[in-house]
Amino acid sequence: MIAVERPTRNLSLDLLRSTEAAALAASRWVGLGNKNDADQAAVDAMRLLLSTIPMRARVVIGEGEKDKAPMLYNGEELGSGEGPEVDIAVDPIEGTRLAASGQPGAISVIAAAERGGLFDPGPAFYAAKIVVGPEAKEAIDLTARPKENLRAIAKALGKQVRELTVFVLDKPRHARLIDQIRMAGARVSLYTDGDVAGALAAVLPDTGIDVLMGTGGTPEGVLAAVAVKALGGGMQMRLDPQSEEEHWSLAHHGYDIHRVYTLDELCPAEETHFAATGITEGPFLRGVRYRQHRAITHSLVIRGHTRTLRYIESHHHLDKLRALSGDLY
């Protein structure tokens, strides 16, 4: 007789409430040009909801250290004090500049894993990454040239290199990478911010993105790794300091900047949870939309243990929310 595993509580759905709250709070600041106030609103809303969830959570990747924004700080204890012990990684607004300027692609993100189940990036702010979907996960090699990776990815996907589209952050550091991708024959899709969203786009079907390449935030890389692993994709990451100070700090703390981290090293846990809610319109999540007395949010939720992916549209009654939570919304 085959043993049947009994269903357990899905923490992902509890975490979803925190990204919805952060997205709703941040949406009040969309297009107003003040990214710090938007971030503060999202942090306050996310922290409030996280404090109610039955878990004993520790923040291992927090908010604000790189750009001195308001924080859900590393080491902060969250949750009701009951339930499972988990480590969490948060980004109340991924793409604060996008939200502040009213541009597409800003999202609110959280990931959780059993205690010890997330890579600790320490003082690393930046890392080189490559992310692909399940069909190409065995084809990537971060030590190889972009041209070699693109050929291998195209073969795995049954495409020509010229049919590939590569997500790259539009930063000066990527000038050479962009030239290499185009010389290989692939298309480049440039984004000013949002490499968690870029990693999701590379793994999810029908987004128009086949692969993410380039250097982005290390904390965002760990957040993305949770979703990529849960969805069966492929990812590799190498620390890539962008200043002498960061380089020195990594050496001082014993990090090897030449080491390529695998997906299982970035996220060794199997029991993982990931939630993201759109703040502004994006390629796979809609932004917060307002109707009379209500707001509509669009989110995705992933549970690693079952590999269940849910898209959830929620309708929030604003008067009720404000009665319960004050002026957050």
Blockwise average pLDDT, block size 10, the chain, 329 residues:
58 95 96 94 93 94 58 85 94 95 96 95 95 98 98 98 98 98 98 95 95 96 97 97 95 95 96 97 94 94 94 91 68
Please give the pLDDT value at position 105: 94
Please give the pLDDT value at position 10: 82
The answer to whether the beta carbons of residues 128 and 299 sit under 8 Å apart is no
Gap between the Cα atoms of 107 and 49, Å rounded: 17
28 is written with which tokens? 């009040």
Q: Which fold has domain 11-115+271-325?
A: Fructose-1,6-Bisphosphatase; Chain A, domain 1 (3.30.540)
Please give the pLDDT value at position 45: 94
Q: Residue 91 annotated as binding?
A: yes
Q: Could you give the angle at the alpha carbon of 83 between the alpha carbons of 78 and 89, nearest 5°?
A: 40
Q: Residue 129 annotated as binding?
A: no
Asked whether this chain's domains 11-115+271-325 and 126-266 adopt the same fold, the reply is no
Q: Any idea which residue has 């929310």 for tokens?
A: 321
Gap between the Cα atoms of 86 and 60, Å rounded: 10
How many of the other CB atoms lie within 10 Å of CB of 95?
A: 28
Q: Could you give the angle at the alpha carbon of 239 between the alpha carbons of 236 and 242, nearest 5°?
A: 135
- Whether the pTM exceeds 0.85: the reply is yes
How many of the other CB atoms lie within 10 Å of CB of 70?
A: 17
Q: Residue 306 annotated as binding?
A: no
Cβ burial of 252 (10 Å; 0-12, 13-18, 19+) is exposed
Q: Which amino acid is at 40?
A: Q
Q: Residue 193 annotated as binding?
A: yes
Q: Residue 94 annotated as binding?
A: yes
3-state secondary structure of 163: helix
Torsion of CA 24, 322, 10, 315, to 10 degrees: -60
The answer to whether the beta carbons of residues 67 and 38 sit under 8 Å apart is no
Gap between the Cα atoms of 312 and 317, Å rounded: 16
Q: Residue 126 annotated as binding?
A: yes
The sign one gets for the Cα dihedral 247, 250, 253, 259 is negative
Q: Residue 123 annotated as binding?
A: no
Gap between the Cα atoms of 151 and 145, Å rounded: 10
The answer to whether the beta carbons of residues 16 and 44 sit under 8 Å apart is no
Q: Residue 63 annotated as binding?
A: yes
Q: Residue 96 annotated as binding?
A: yes
Gap between the Cα atoms of 210 and 60, Å rounded: 30
Please give the pLDDT value at position 326: 64
CATH of domain 126-266: 3.40.190.90
What residue segments make up the domains of the chain, in order of their start? 11-115+271-325, 126-266
Please give the pLDDT value at position 67: 46
Q: Which amino acid is at 252?
A: H
Residue 76 C-beta-side C-alpha neighbours within 13 Å: 17
Please give the pLDDT value at position 283: 86
Please give the pLDDT value at position 69: 45
Q: Residue 185 annotated as binding?
A: no
Reported as type and span, the H/E element at residue 21 is helix 11-27
Q: Residue 244 annotated as binding?
A: no
Q: Residue 68 annotated as binding?
A: no
7 is written with which tokens? 């269903």
Q: Which of 65, 14, 11 is nearest to 43 (CA)?
A: 65
Please give the pLDDT value at position 255: 95
